[in-house]
């Protein structure tokens, strides 16, 4: 491809014979780019790529717009051709040039940039908290750290029930029953590292341990960066919440602090800014996912001790001063709110070691534990320890199935729902009256919807398997017992327990597929992200010529790069066949996993970027499918559908009505001043505090501070993104000077400055070792501003605030580029590391029917979508297939839906358009009036 490219460009040049003249044009830049040296994989974090390319490269991929964009802090690829909507595509003759066309250059360029980011992230951002970091840096017995595959810290401890079975105090390796299915606590996913990813293991980090807990001022950099301006309640989290997170309500909107109107009249109104391409189902889907991946809380609780949540100080003249009663009233915050402190696993001083004259901490200053399995194993449904497993109720008539019980609330025949929790099954009184599921915390009707849907899906698979077994009882089911691998297990031999566990594998894989191929491409609504996510799952090369050519370019470049190492190669190669199913043709059932030298768990920073509370509206717009779905019948406050009330609400209105209601309603934009009011005023009686309430938006900030997440600017530097040098950098440079949008962003930047303030800078203070200035000098407190001038306290901004303030985003991105950077690394790692998504995705574990079900999105073979949405032939999406199976009443409504997370009943129009028109039959829906 590169050869073609060079030859093509040279021919054109000869034809014009005007290379010097063309140098600053797109064509000239392409020639210079094609002839120039390749971008090398950095050997040191200070030489990272930062999402920024050479000027010629940028111009070749996106013209002058992209070349100019290099002066901003934001990643370059978002200005390349064809990475936005229709307007970003070049048309006319050049667009017909195939590999040489500007659109291809843009998209392959974006894919290359993302893959470079991933390689660098794998190289520089893995910090394990189990105690393995020293081996990662030093290596072991001649093997370099990043190539290590097993760690003594990941052995089962003496006293663990499976200690003997894995080898006791000798070499430990999982085998037999322990490797057949996903184990309850997540042990033995990796056969060589039994403890990896299991319940109660420490969260890792993606930032250097030295950069964690800046509030503690443990090193000179942290002190230089923040002075004495930081603390758990500094700047005041409730003040931040009220000033920077509160949704602005029009006067008389009767929002009532998010508690709406008691009679649920459709006229009730709580303003919120809506995202263009995502619906409310997408908000609760991601909460449903996070409950599978991580939790800091144990049975919904933290430490018993309560602490203040702020609403007490503001910064005045560079120091904290108490808020007056008048200010408290104006802000609407509550000084008496109390919340329980975070659980901490280790807080004694961390040991250090020295390697090549550089001192390293062996772990972060404090550590916390992930209380659920880190694997994508549907543990929120199936459990992660004994207590949570007791909440998973089986159908007594068929123990392979989950229990579902009829509910007469709607007087419907045949409607069945998850049964309610039994008092003995939980320790948290707050959960009383909820459905019995493994992870019941922060329960609401959205979670209830998805838990019920997947309980149905589980049972539908069991039925399909039993049907097959009845037809072909003596045929090979595909399943094997590792103790007798050559012995065929016939359909008739599969036990109830085997079938339950097989179904768990299938449902977990379906969920992972929905998330990777359906939720994420809608969250990041543009072509490179669509191709990138498909590549993660099922590979580039076989599917898409564009993506395949990007991969080819990358491989050629890597081969020539002196920085190429095993990790880089592996990551790039894996993007070829895809990560899912990687190595499943080899005899070794563990051979396809790759942890890149650092045991898998999510990092603390991953939790931070999933603090997505602004997605949630204050009021649900409830519809009735049978009468007229274009009418909003009532506005139900979300807060009246939390905890036990969720269960009532789901049963009262039924799955189909909740499906269409959440499917048509748009979710909240992830931006400043757009957090739900009800979460700022959430009642939490279990705390027994005098207000009985907490501000969850303020708590998002407090928790990150308790857990030592670096502040926004250092967070970006650590992740290989460019720093900001003032609050003004947040303003989207694409906006016209006189636009209303720019004025609004300027207003919000003003509020940021008012909250976080400024200080007089001192250029003698070096503030980071993560990066250098463009001229190679060290980054200092003045961030390029004159010494002694007043500079914004941009270094103090909390990550949750900074990511919402990123108004400048790639086209169609509901999240910020900072959050995306965290996903690039961890979203692929949770696939790379999981045996059941790589080498053990095979019939021996999933059965033949299970493999087919996951690959083809259910029974009935592959089903294709009509037309070519965004230019792609697409299969009917996996979640649409699940909904069609579980709520067949939605068929007519779903006919025109391509991606279940795209607001329903809309005709999306052309190439990644953020606009829509109502589909025929939905024109009268009032939701379309308010854009």
Residues that bind ligand HEM (CB under 6 A): 283-284, 286-287, 290, 294-297, 302, 442, 444, 607, 610-613, 615-616, 638, 642, 696, 699, 703
Report the C-alpha gap between 879 and 857 in whole angstroms: 8
Cα separation, 279 vs 243, in Å, equals 26
- The smaller minimum CB distance to ligand HEM, of residues 400 and 612, is found at 612
């993104």: which residue's tokens?
721
CB of 602 to ligand HEM, least distance (A): 10
Q: At its nearest, how many Å lie between ligand HEM and the CB of residue 390?
A: 22
Yes or no: say if 868 and 910 are a contact pair by the CB < 8 Å rule. no
CB of 667 to ligand HEM, least distance (A): 9
Contacts of 574 (CB under 8 A, 6+ apart): 582, 594, 832
Which tokens hold the place of 213? 């807990």
Give the separation between CA 577 and CA 602, rounded to whole angstroms.
25
d(CA 372, CA 607): 13
* 842 close to 851: Cβ distance less than 8 angstroms: yes
Least distance between ligand HEM and beta carbon 642 (Å): 5
* Between 383 and 581, CB nearer to ligand HEM: 383
For β-strands 369-370 and 201-202, DSSP reports them as antiparallel
Encode 454-485: b = buried (16+ Cβ within 10 Å), e = exposed.
Answer: bbbbbbbbbebbbebbeeeeeeebbbbebeee
Residue 481 β-bridge partners: 484
Residue number, 378 or 469, with CB nearest to ligand HEM:
378
Smallest gap, in angstroms, from Cβ of residue 925 to ligand HEM? Answer: 24
Output 298 or 729, the one with its CB closest to ligand HEM: 298
Distance, CA of 850 to CA of 504 (rounded, Å): 10
Q: Tokens at residue 686, please?
A: 């279990």
Structure tokens at 557: 């470049």
- Least spacing, CB of residue 640 vs ligand HEM, in Å: 11
DSSP state of 501: H
Which is closer to ligand HEM, CB of 381 or CB of 696? 696
- The CA distance from 663 to 905, in Å, is 9
Q: How far is CA 738 from the centre of its chain?
A: 35
Minimum gap (Å) between residue 609 Cβ and ligand HEM:
9
Shortest Å, Cβ 671 to ligand HEM: 15
Going by C-alpha positions, the residue among 176, 173, 150, 153 that lies closest to residue 163 is: 173
What's the CA gap between 537 and 832, in Å, rounded? 10
Smallest gap from residue 710 Cβ to ligand HEM (A):
17
- Secondary structure class of 694 (helix, strand, coil): strand
Least distance (Å) between residue 291 CB and ligand HEM: 9
Q: Is residue 554 within 8 Å of residue 800, measured between CB atoms?
A: no
Cβ atoms of residues 381 and 487 within 8 Å: no
**Whole-angstrom distance, CA of residue 547 vs CA of residue 534:** 10
Comparison of 178 and 696: residue with beta carbon closer to ligand HEM? 696
The nearest distance, CB 492 to ligand HEM, in angstroms, is 43
Contact 590, 191 (CB under 8 A): yes
Which CB atom, from 295 or from 380, has the smaller least distance to ligand HEM?
295
State in angstroms the smallest separation of the CB of 302 from ligand HEM: 5
Angle of helix 527-538 relative to helix 545-560, nearest 10 degrees?
A: 80
CB of 305 to ligand HEM, least distance (A): 13
Of the pair 190, 604, the CB lying nearest ligand HEM is at 604
Check: CB of residue 851 under 8 Å from CB of residue 843: yes
- The answer to whether 761 and 768 have CB atoms below 8 angstroms apart is no
Separation of alpha carbons 882 and 898, rounded Å: 13
Nearer Cβ to ligand HEM (640/925) = 640
Which residue lies nearer to ligand HEM by CB, 283 or 783?
Answer: 283
Task: Give the burial class of 589: count Cβ atoms within 10 A of its Cβ; 0-12 exposed, 13-18 middle, 19 or more buried.
Answer: buried
Structure tokens belonging to residue 363 = 């772990």
Residue tagged 């449904």 (tokens): 381
DSSP annotation of 399 reads: E
| 703 versus 811: smaller Cβ distance to ligand HEM | 703
Strand partners of residue 813 = 524
CB of 678 to ligand HEM, least distance (A): 8
């Amino acid at each position: 491809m590169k050869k073609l490219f060079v030859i093509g460009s040279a021919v054109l040049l000869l034809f014009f014979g005007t290379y010097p003249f063309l140098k600053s044009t797109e064509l000239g830049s392409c020639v210079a780019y094609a002839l120039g040296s390749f971008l090398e994989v950095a050997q040191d974090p200070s030489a990272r790529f930062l999402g920024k390319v050479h000027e010629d490269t940028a111009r070749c991929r996106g013209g002058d717009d992209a070349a100019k964009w290099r002066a901003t802090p934001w990643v370059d690829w978002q200005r390349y051709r064809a990475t936005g909507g229709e307007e970003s595509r070049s048309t006319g003759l050049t667009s017909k040039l195939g590999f040489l066309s500007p659109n291809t250059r843009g998209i392959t360029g974006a894919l290359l940039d993302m893959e470079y980011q991933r390689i660098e992230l794998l190289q520089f951002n893995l910090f394990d908290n189990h105690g393995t970091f020293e081996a990662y840096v030093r290596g072991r017995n001649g093997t370099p750290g990043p190539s290590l595959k097993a760690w003594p810290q990941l052995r089962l401890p003496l006293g663990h029930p499976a200690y003997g079975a894995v080898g006791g105090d000798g070499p430990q390796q999982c085998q037999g029953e322990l490797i057949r299915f996903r184990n309850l606590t997540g042990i033995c996913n990796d056969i060589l590292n039994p403890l990896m990813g299991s319940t109660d293991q420490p969260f890792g980090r993606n930032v250097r341990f030295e950069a964690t807990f800046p509030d503690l001022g443990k090193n000179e950099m942290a002190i230089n960066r923040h002075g004495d301006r930081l603390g758990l309640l500094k700047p005041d989290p409730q003040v931040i919440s009220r000033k920077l997170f509160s949704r602005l309500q029009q006067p008389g909107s009767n929002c009532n602090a998010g508690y709406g109107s008691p009679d649920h009249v459709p006229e009730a109104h709580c303003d919120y800014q809506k995202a263009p391409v995502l619906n409310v189902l997408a908000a609760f889907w991601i909460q449903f996912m996070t409950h599978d991946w991580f939790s800091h809380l144990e049975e919904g609780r933290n430490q018993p001790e309560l602490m203040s949540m702020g609403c007490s100080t503001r910064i005045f003249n560079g120091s904290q001063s108490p808020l007056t009663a008048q200010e408290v009233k104006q802000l609407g915050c509550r000084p008496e709110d109390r919340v329980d402190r975070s659980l901490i696993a280790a807080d004694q001083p961390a040991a250090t070691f020295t390697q090549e004259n550089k001192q390293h901490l062996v772990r972060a200053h404090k550590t916390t534990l992930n209380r659920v399995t880190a694997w994508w194993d549907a543990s929120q449904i199936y459990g992660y320890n004994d207590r949570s497993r007791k909440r998973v109720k089986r159908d007594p008539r068929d123990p392979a199935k989950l229990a579902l019980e009829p509910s007469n609330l709607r007087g419907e025949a045949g409607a069945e729902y998850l049964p309610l929790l039994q008092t003995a099954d939980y320790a948290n009184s707050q959960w009383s009256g909820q459905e019995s599921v493994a992870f019941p915390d922060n329960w609401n009707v959205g979670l209830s919807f998805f838990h019920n849907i997947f309980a149905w899906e589980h049972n539908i698979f069991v039925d399909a398997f039993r049907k097959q077994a009845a037809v072909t009882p003596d045929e090979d089911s595909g399943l094997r017992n590792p103790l007798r691998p050559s012995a065929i297990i016939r359909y008739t031999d599969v036990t109830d327990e085997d079938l339950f566990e097989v179904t768990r594998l299938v449902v977990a894989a379906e969920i992972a597929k929905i998330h990777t191929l359906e939720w994420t491409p809608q969250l990041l609504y543009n072509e490179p992200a669509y191709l990138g996510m498909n590549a993660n799952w099922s590979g580039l090369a076989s599917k898409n010529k564009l993506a395949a050519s990007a991969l080819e370019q990358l491989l050629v470049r890597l081969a020539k790069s002196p920085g190429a190492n095993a990790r880089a190669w592996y990551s790039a190669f894996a993007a070829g066949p895809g990560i899912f199913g990687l190595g499943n043709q080899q005899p070794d059932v563990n051979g396809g996993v790759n942890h890149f030298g650092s045991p898998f768990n999510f990092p603390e920073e991953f939790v931070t970027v999933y603090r997505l509370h602004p997605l949630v509206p204050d009021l649900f717009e409830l519809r009735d499918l049978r009468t007229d779905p274009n009418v909003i019948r009532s506005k139900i406050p979300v807060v009246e559908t939390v905890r036990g009330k969720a269960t009532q609400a789901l049963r009262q209105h039924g799955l189909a009505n909740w499906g269409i209601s959440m499917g048509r309603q748009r979710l909240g934009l992830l931006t400043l001043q757009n957090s739900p009011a009800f979460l700022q005023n959430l009642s939490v009686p279990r705390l027994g505090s005098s207000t009985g309430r907490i501000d969850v938006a303020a708590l998002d900030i407090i928790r990150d501070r308790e857990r030592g997440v670096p502040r926004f600017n250092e967070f970006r530097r650590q992740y290989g993104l460019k720093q900001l040098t003032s609050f003004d950098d947040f303003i989207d440079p694409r906006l016209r000077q006189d636009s209303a949008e720019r004025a609004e962003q300027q207003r919000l930047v003003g509020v940021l400055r008012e909250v976080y303030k400024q200080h007089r800078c001192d250029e003698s203070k070096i503030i980071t070792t993560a990066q250098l200035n463009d001229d190679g000098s060290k980054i200092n407190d003045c961030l390029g501003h004159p010494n002694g001038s007043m500079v914004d306290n941009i270094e103090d901004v909390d990550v949750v605030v900074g990511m919402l303030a990123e108004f400048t985003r790639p086209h169609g991105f509901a999240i910020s580029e900072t959050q995306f950077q965290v996903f690039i690394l961890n979203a692929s790692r949770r696939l790379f590391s999981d045996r059941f998504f790589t080498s053990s995705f095979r019939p021996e574990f999933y059965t033949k029917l299970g493999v087919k079900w996951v690959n083809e999105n259910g029974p009935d073979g592959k089903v294709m979508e009509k037309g070519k949405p965004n230019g792609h032939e697409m299969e009917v999406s996996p979640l649409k297939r699940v909904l069609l199976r579980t709520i067949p009443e939605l068929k007519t409504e779903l006919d025109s839906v391509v991606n279940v997370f795209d607001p329903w009943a809309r005709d999306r129009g052309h190439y990644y358009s953020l606009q829509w028109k109502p589909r025929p039959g939905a024109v009268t829906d009032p939701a379309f009036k308010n854009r």
